[in-house]
Structure formats: C-alpha cells, structure tokens
C-alpha cells in the first residue's frame, strides 16, 4: 500500500515534470522560429536561434565569405534616437573595408515603439530585440541587429556612462540618448563622430575582438578591461565605450581606427 502510494505520487510527479519540460521545449521551439516569405513569396520557417548566441560566436561568419556572402544590417530606433545618415554610411564603410562579402552589405532602417524606461538591462534589450527584429540569417545572408534606444544602461556608474553594448553574436545596442547628451557637451566631438566610434567599436566585438571569438595573433588584450586592446588610440581601447572615456580619447575629433594588432587578428580569421 505504502509503496503503491509512493509509486503513484512518483508517477504523477514525473508526469508533472515531463509536462513542464515539454511546455518549456515547445515554448523554446516557437520562440526560435519565425516564418518569412522567400523571394518567390513562399513561406519559409527560419531558425532564429543561430542569431541568439554569444558575442564573438559569429566572428568568422561575419568576416569571411565562406558561409555568408551578404550582410544585412537592421537598424531599429525609437523616435528621436535615429543615428545620423553619415554615421550609418561610416559604419558601412568600416564594414566594407573588413568583411569579405561579395554580394555586398544592405541596411534596413525601422522605427520601433516600445514601453520606454529610464534605464534598461540587457535582459530588457533582448526582449525588445526579440519583439521587433525581423532580419535573421537566411541562405547566404548573415543579419546583424542594432537598436538605438533612449534612457541609459542599468550598469552605468558616476564615472562610466555606457554608450553601447554588444550582447549577442549578431546584436548590439546603442544608448543613443546618452550618446546625444555627450555630443551636446561644450567642446565635444560631433554626434556623428561619437555614434560612428561606438557603432564601429561594438561591431569590433561582434567580429571577435579582442581575444573573444577571433584568436589573437599577438598578445594585445587589456585583460583588466575585458575584451579590449592595449593600444590606447585603437578603436578597441576600452575607453571607446563610455561617454567620459570617449570624450578624453577623441580630443582630435576623429574616429579611432583599428591598430595593426587588431587588423592582423581579423585578417587571420577570414577578414580583409
């Protein structure tokens, strides 16, 4: 009797756990699939999980032309927080110089509406991306998502106002309201210079810099500052990501470029 009762409870318990697992896997499945139209207008199911990996995981796919010959960049922005056309052109020029994409680069711009907050966590940003992103890897095209948002990053400190974060293998966010506030300071570089620096820097992380998805050809990781370069005028220097640091770094008013150490890494991983 006692053992039967125990078995019965155990069976119910197991069934309950199984249901939970099934429910979870079913949710995960539907969350990672969207249906789009192919060029003939026929519906195709896309697996979006390939665009939900870790920063640097798609470095080679982005740099080389082996699997993907085209890149589509989906720029999503809130009203009033769109990057300048010059910044977008600068980012495209930066990518064209580094990526082997024989079929070229395409930009899709889209205004989005969200529930606005004064600050956002990366979890919040991921949710916004998942609700609004429409471009995912498809056939020979690799897709990158960039969100331009109001408010600030919830990890900001008094000395560090974060301007951008690369947070998935093909996703970055720019805290555009923060970027604009620094551009409005006296003697600050232009908005386009600030936007271009931060966008290029976050793309650098998606390309696997530094030592994060793209192997180093020489030792130049500033380990104390994570995935950054030790060269203080390189685009991948750690100060390029915060407003306070960037104003110091951009005294000349020009967008920093990648130093030869970072370029060597990208070229060894399929880039130009």
Residues that bind Zn ion (CB under 5 A): 229, 231, 234, 236, 241, 259, 261-262
Closest to 139 in 3D by CA, of 99, 103, 98, 91: 103
In this complex, which beta carbon is closest to Zn ion, that of residue 137 or of residue 230?
A: 230
Return the structure tokens found at 126: 């991921």
In this complex, which beta carbon is closest to Zn ion, that of residue 76 or of residue 163?
A: 163
Q: Phi first, then psi: give them for residue 139, nearest 5 degrees.
A: 50, -115
Nearest-approach distance from CB 242 to Zn ion, in angstroms:
9
Nearest-approach distance from CB 226 to Zn ion, in angstroms:
7
Strands 43-47 and 104-111, bridge-based pairing: unpaired
In this complex, which beta carbon is closest to Zn ion, that of residue 46 or of residue 166?
A: 166
Distance of alpha carbon 170 from the chain centroid = 5
In this complex, which beta carbon is closest to Zn ion, that of residue 72 or of residue 198?
A: 198
Among all residues, whose Cβ is closest to Zn ion?
Answer: 229
Nearest-approach distance from CB 234 to Zn ion, in angstroms:
3
Nearest-approach distance from CB 220 to Zn ion, in angstroms:
6
Strands 164-168 and 171-175, bridge-based pairing: antiparallel
Nearest-approach distance from CB 195 to Zn ion, in angstroms:
15
Q: What single string gives the DSSP state of each residue in 238-252?
A: GGGGBHHHHHHHTTT
In this complex, which beta carbon is closest to Zn ion, that of residue 137 or of residue 214?
A: 214
Give the single-character DSSP code of 127.
H
Report CA torsion sign: 60, 245, 158, 161.
negative
Nearest-approach distance from CB 238 to Zn ion, in angstroms:
6
Residue with tokens 């000349």: 252
Residue with tokens 């947070």: 167
Give whole-number Cα distances, 73 to 19, 85, 162, 207, in Å: 39, 14, 22, 14
Compute the residue count for the chain: 272
Nearest-approach distance from CB 210 to Zn ion, in angstroms:
7
Cβ neighbour number for residue 95 with a 10 Å cutoff: 20
Question: Residue 248 and residue 31: Cα distance in Å, rounded?
Answer: 42
In this complex, which beta carbon is closest to Zn ion, that of residue 128 or of residue 266?
A: 266
In this complex, which beta carbon is closest to Zn ion, that of residue 50 or of residue 235?
A: 235
């Amino acid at each position: 009797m006692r053992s039967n009762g125990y078995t019965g409870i155990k069976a119910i318990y197991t069934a309950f756990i199984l249901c939970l697992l099934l429910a979870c896997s079913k949710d995960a499945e539907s969350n990672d699939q969207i249906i789009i139209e192919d060029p003939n207008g026929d519906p195709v199911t896309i697996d979006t999980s390939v665009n939900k990996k870790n920063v640097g995981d798609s470095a080679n796919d982005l740099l080389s032309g082996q699997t993907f010959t085209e890149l589509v960049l989906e720029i999503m922005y809130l009203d009033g927080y769109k990057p300048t056309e010059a910044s977008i052109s600068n980012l495209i020029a930066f990518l064209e110089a580094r990526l082997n994409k024989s079929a070229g680069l395409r930009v899709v711009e889209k205004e989005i509406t969200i529930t606005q907050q004064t600050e956002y966590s990366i979890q919040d940003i991921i949710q916004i991306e998942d609700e609004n992103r429409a471009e995912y890897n498809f056939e020979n095209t690799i897709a990158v998502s960039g969100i331009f948002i109001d408010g600030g990053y919830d990890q900001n400190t008094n000395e560090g106002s974060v301007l951008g974060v690369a947070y998935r293998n093909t996703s970055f966010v720019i805290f555009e309201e923060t970027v604009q506030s620094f551009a409005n300071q006296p003697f600050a570089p232009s908005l386009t210079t600030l936007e271009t620096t931060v966008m290029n820097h976050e793309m650098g992380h998606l390309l696997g810099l530094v030592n994060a998805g793209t192997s180093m050809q020489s030792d130049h990781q500033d380990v104390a500052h994570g995935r950054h370069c030790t060269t203080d005028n390189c685009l991948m220097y750690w100060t390029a990501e915060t407003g306070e640091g960037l104003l110091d770094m951009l005294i000349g008013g020009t967008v920093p470029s990648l130093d030869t150490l970072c370029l060597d890494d990208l070229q060894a991983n399929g880039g130009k």
